[in-house]
Chain A
Amino acid sequence: MFTLTRRQLLYGVTSLAAGGILAACAPKQEQPAPAPEQPAEKPAEKPAEQPAAPAAKEKVLVKYHVFWNQIQACEPAFRATDEWKAMEESGLEIEFGTGRGGDAGKTAVAAGTPPDVGDLGFQLDFAIGGKLLDVMPYVDASSKVSPEMFFEENWKGANWAGMQYGVPAHECYVRRGLNMNKRMIEEAGLDINNPPVTWEETFEWNRALTKFDAAGNLLQFGLDPYDAEGGATASADGWIMAEMWDIKPFDEATGAFNLNDEKFVEAVDVFSEFYRFLGPDNLQGVRSVEGQGTWGGSFNSEVQAMIIEGYWHPGETFKEKPEVSEYNVATWVPMPEFRRGDKIQVFSGHPCVMFKEGTNVQHSFPIVEWLQTKACCDIIFNEIGWLPAVKEYVANVDGSKFPGLQFYLDSAKDFTHAYGEAVIPIRTFISTKFTQYREQAYRDAMTAKEAMDAWQKDVETEWEESGWKDQWPPQ
């Protein structure tokens, strides 16, 4: 009979543990060579197949990860489409992962263990860091994807230093609209058909829509101007104050910042008035429980009557709170008095990228193509309410599907001024510092001028210390 002594057991366990650690620390297998660098010119004829398509019977695992969680609900429908099945039949085994962004995603990319394709957020950081493939050789070889099929600003938004690092997908299109709750507005005696067009008028609406109890506690309010898209500065969704006040905050040619522009000071003063009226402490409290400052639930819970959001607001509200969605009416965002009558829109969104160090990245472009198909776009639109940047698809969207959506569809044609995404390497720093300094202003710890001067100084220091000042413009 076999007997195992204590020593043998310890020996075995220890060997296994040591072996396991060594195996875990072993260098990665050599990566398959990624697709060749982009050809100088577009090929005369597109090849019948994508670059490096897998052989029919060998299964190639392609990791397709995204940072959103809500897209998880789409997976069964994705897998049931003929196009997805065709990809699998051609030899791809697709691992679809959601909720893979944040620090974990960033660390995976930095450590050389990214997925093959997808959207982990921080795309510009990855592009700057040289972690993404130039997609143009794949686009040039594709019969299904071409730059012309997308809204121009959406396409241009995925470009860094002349390299196209992604293809618009999942959630793109337009980002600016003032969404109003018709029920609350009519209850306050306001005319939903005559919405505010300037910030002064919006402030009066805010005053009329705000309710305090006898002890001065906030019960309901009109608009937190820094909520949702209103709070976006140099992030992926643009820079709303700069667009509204028509400021050029960053000169891409010289790398100079213009954050203490007097128009910025005026803008911060205007927004601060809302905070002083509503109470900064009240809004801080709402922010922490209602998801305010992100893409807020305070509108859905009918605590906030108006919110500045993108085209997704009608669909997402419809999915999350249909009884509130039925009151949703969208219109142009307010402007400062000197721009009364201007109608602005921003085209931006999320590119799908291919990670250079992905194990099977050279096989992953079919997923980028699949994301542009009607079948995929339909699922995402119907399940979540998101739209792609594909012009043909958006042209055929039924604007009555979600209350308020028709405004966005029209706005993409009717705008008087269009803006794109700010492409600045240190934009997270810029946004974070703006959030801190605007609070100094509305809490009267600094004047708006002092706050913007401090912001400019901090950003210039960061620009220099992070090395960008010496490296700008990027080669």
Chain B
Amino acid sequence: MAVATRKQKISALGWRHELLGLLFTSPWSLGFLLFTLYPLVSSLYYSLTRYDLMQPPVFIGLLNYTRLPADRDFLVVLKQTLWWVGFSSPAGVISAFAMATLLNTQILGRSVYRAIFFFPSIVPQFVVAIVWQFLLNINYGAINSTLRAIGFESIPFLSNPAYAKPSLLLIHMWSQGSAMVIFLATLQDVPRSLYEAATVDGAGAFRRWWNITIPLCSPVIFFNLVMAFIGGWQTFTLPWLLTQGGPNQSTEFYALNLYRNAFSYMRMGKACALAWVLFVIVVAFTGILFKSTGRWVYYEGK
């Protein structure tokens, strides 16, 4: 009761402080309201409309959602994206963890290697795309030029439907510097005493790695896996720049199709519906990942 009374009678100074607090937080809160919440809510509304950007939206209920299962493009991109997420998320985590493990050993010039491995993750994606284009191109790429010079046939890395996704996967694994740094910090936090005790007990290198390193790093492996998974569903820049969804739609991932619907076909309503479906898919799959943590993620505090 006393609390309620105090709340009802805020002094002038109190009001001033409240106002000042709101004012200080206004750049963030206004930004959040205008650039996050408003687009989020409006995209939900637009997903229930037929909207071509130029003319006013026309409300069509759930049609944009109910038509999706019969949409050939939707099924194609779902299949391609599932492949991509299924392979790229674990592959990215494994390559980052492998690089971090290698860099955690006492090798000469470790900081130089660290910088080299981290470098790709600070290079803009379009630069990465151009570099790899000139490495992998079937006609002019450095790798294929070398192969041709020694009498071999070119490999159609980005030109053949069977090779295009694995080639993108290769580039993705190469760009794991950020995850690698997180893993490296985690690896350096694993207490030496545990390894010493295991060694005394007769555990070999693999046993120490499997029974000590992996469990103690599992929360970070989980974190990186979740991030890779979410990023995988949203993959856009590399396939757009390198293959534009081809060849034969083999790299036409979800975000590319969403973009095409929004800005090429001017189907903003459908694109918004695709975005919300993507949101639901990501939340559902992330939920499953979280559910699985009890089986394989080790939290020291528990």
Contacts and interface: CB of A to CB of B under 8 A. Distances in A.
Contact of A282 (B24, B73, B139, B242): B139
Contacts of A458: 72-73
Given A215-B153, A465-B67, A281 B23 contact: no
B266 A18 contact: no
Contact of B30 (A18, A286, A428, A445): A18
B156 A11 contact: no
Given A18-B26, A125-B54, A466-B50, A284 B249 contact: no
A218 B139 contact: yes
Contacts of B52: 125, 129, 466
Nearest to B150: A215
Interface string B36-68: 000000000000001011110010000100010
Interface in A452-472: 454, 458, 462, 465-467
B158 A217 contact: no
B263 interface: yes
B243 to A, nearest CB: 8
A11 B23 contact: yes
A279 B144 CA distance: 16
Contacts of A284: 138, 156, 158-160, 246-247
Given A14-B26, A282-B138, A284-B246, A217 B153 contact: yes
A453 to B, nearest CB: 12
Interface stretch (A75-83, A400-408, A436-444): A436-444
A436 B252 CA distance: 11
Interface string B205-226: 0000000000000000000000
A288 B158 contact: yes
A107 B133 CA distance: 30
A143 interface: no
B139 A289 contact: yes
Contact of A281 (B26, B148, B247, B266): B247
Nearest to B244: A288
Contact of A285 (B27, B159, B249): B159
A3 B122 CA distance: 42
A129 B52 CA distance: 8
Contact of A131 (B54, B140, B151, B160): B54
Interface string B149-177: 00111101011110000000000000000
Interface centre among A213, A216, A286, A288 (most CB of B within 10 A): A288
A432 B260 contact: yes
B137 interface: yes
B53 A129 contact: yes
A103 B262 CA distance: 10
A214 interface: yes
Contacts of A56: none
A109 interface: yes
Interface in A216-251: 216-218
Interface string A130-153: 110000000000000000000000
B54 A439 contact: no
Interface in B242-266: 242-243, 246-249, 260, 263-266
Contact of A213 (B137, B148, B242, B249): B148
A196 to B, nearest CB: 25
A14 B24 contact: yes
A239 B258 CA distance: 26
Interface centre among A22, A213, A284 (most CB of B within 10 A): A284
A130 B56 CA distance: 10
A163 to B, nearest CB: 14
A426 B265 contact: yes
A10 B247 contact: no
A125 B159 CA distance: 33
Nearest to B270: A465
A21 B73 CA distance: 40
Contacts of B249: 436
Contacts of B260: 432
A289 to B, nearest CB: 5
B31 A21 contact: yes
Given A11-B23, A289-B133, A289-B139, A281 B159 contact: yes
A295 interface: no
B197 interface: no
Given A126-B54, A429-B265, A466-B267, A21 B138 contact: no
A128 B266 CA distance: 12
Nearest to B60: A467
A428 B154 CA distance: 34
Contacts of A428: 264-266
B138 A285 contact: yes
A280 interface: yes
A282 B141 CA distance: 12
Contact of A443 (B63, B248, B265): B248
Contacts of A14: 23-24, 26-27
A472 B27 CA distance: 48
Nearest to B71: A461
A443 B162 CA distance: 12
B20 interface: yes
A263 interface: no
B34 interface: yes
A15 interface: yes
Contacts of A215: 148, 151-154
A129 B23 contact: no
Interface string A19-49: 0011001000000000000000000000000
B265 A15 contact: no
Contact of B138 (A11, A110, A281, A429): A281
A109 B54 CA distance: 8
A116 to B, nearest CB: 18
Contact of A10 (B24, B156, B159, B270): B24
Interface in A394-448: 426, 428-429, 432, 436, 439-440, 443, 445
A217 B23 contact: no
Nearest to A19: B26
A201 B241 CA distance: 36
B54 A129 contact: yes
Interface string B227-247: 000000000000000110011
Contacts of B134: 289
A161 interface: no
A149 to B, nearest CB: 30
A110 B148 CA distance: 50
Nearest to B136: A285
Interface string A72-115: 00000000000000000000000000000001001101100000
16 contacts: A11-B20, A17-B27, A18-B30, A21-B26, A130-B54, A217-B154, A284-B159, A285-B140, A288-B159, A288-B243, A289-B139, A432-B264, A440-B248, A465-B67, A466-B52, A467-B58
Given A281-B160, A439-B247, 15 more contacts: A15-B23, A22-B30, A25-B34, A129-B52, A130-B54, A130-B55, A215-B148, A215-B152, A215-B154, A216-B153, A217-B139, A280-B247, A285-B154, A428-B265, A432-B264
> Which 3 pairs show the lowest CB-CB distances between chains A and B?
A129-B54, A285-B138, A281-B156
